[in-house]
Amino acid sequence: MSGICRNRVVVVTGAGQGLGREHALALAAEGARIVVNDMGESAKAVAEEITASGGTAVADLGDISDWGYAEDLIGRAVGEFGTLDALVNNAGINRDRMLVSMTEAEWDLVLKVDLKGHMAPLRHAAAYWRERSKQGDPVDARVVNTSSGAGLMGSVGQGNYGAAKAGIAALTVIAAAELARYGVTVNAVAPSARTPMTEAVEAFADKMRVPESGFDRMHPGNISPLVVWLASADSGAVTGRVFEAEGGTIGVADGWQHGTQRVRDRRWSPAEIGPAVHGMLGEAPAPAEVYGA
């Protein structure tokens, strides 16, 4: 099978439905050999769909937030196909609640599945690639994480989910810096698409409806070409980035740049802080003498 991911071995977590399913199908269509992870039998259905269309896939059922299972999943990919070229961390859940109503269990579960569920397979995949690099084997590997606008911009009622997704964005930047020496790039996508998760959010209901005609901007498959490219060798030196994607729109999130500054050559006084902050926010002109030359 031809394609930009021809013969690359890719693990896709949470691939039994929604975005993960679309990513797995799109990667397979571009020639990748897929390990389809999910908690339930839907993973087997996706693997069977890929093989029925002439692709190569195996299903692996388990909880990606379990440290031991995550290690076994990476081992399954290497044992089944002889190597691992890319990890697409997609698995996630939400338990939306206003902060004053959120339970400890709702907080812990979302952080466990979404954030730890990214870290666990990332850690074990990274260990595999590091060992290969130390042995002198060439490594050209990819990690594609899944953040969210809730993590980048905030979202009312999603304190747990947004915190996990913000953590994923930070983890992406840190992993990119740490793993570059081993030949691994790490990026993330912040998708907006129709999935079982987003359809269940009342505030998103109208936006997620299937249009009667024309381009379906919210179809989850619209996100997958970006994921495929990031998982391919073609993405080269692109690393440490978070890409926002919706419909036919892709963009690079600009969340880690230093913004406007005011600098003095001495310690600020509390009275000077207010005018300086309001000036940086563009709310009012700030006196020049506050900032100095």
Active site residues: 148, 161, 165
Q: How far is Cα 176 from Cα 240, in angstroms, rounded to an integer? A: 5
Beta-strand pair 249-252/242-246: antiparallel
Judge contact between 15 and 21, C-beta under 8 A: yes
Torsion of CA 19, 20, 24, 29, to 10 degrees: 0
Q: Please list, in sequence order, all residues whose beta carbon lies within 8 angstroms of the beta carbon of residue 240, skipping any fewer than 6 positions away.
A: 172, 173, 176, 177, 186, 187
- DSSP, res 202: G
Burial, 291: exposed, middle or buried (Cβ in 10 Å; 0-12, 13-18, 19+)?
middle
Q: Say which residues have a Cβ less than 8 Å from residue 239's Cβ, sequence separation at least 6.
A: 176, 180, 185, 186, 187
The 9-12 sheet, strands edge to edge: 56-61, 33-38, 9-12, 86-88, 141-146, 184-192, 242-246, 249-252
Distance CA 110, CA 104 (A): 10
In a 13 Å sphere around the CA of 58, the CA atoms on its Cβ side amount to 12
The size of the chain, in residues, is: 293
Q: Could you say which DSSP state residue 96 is in?
A: -
- Output DSSP code: residue 283: S
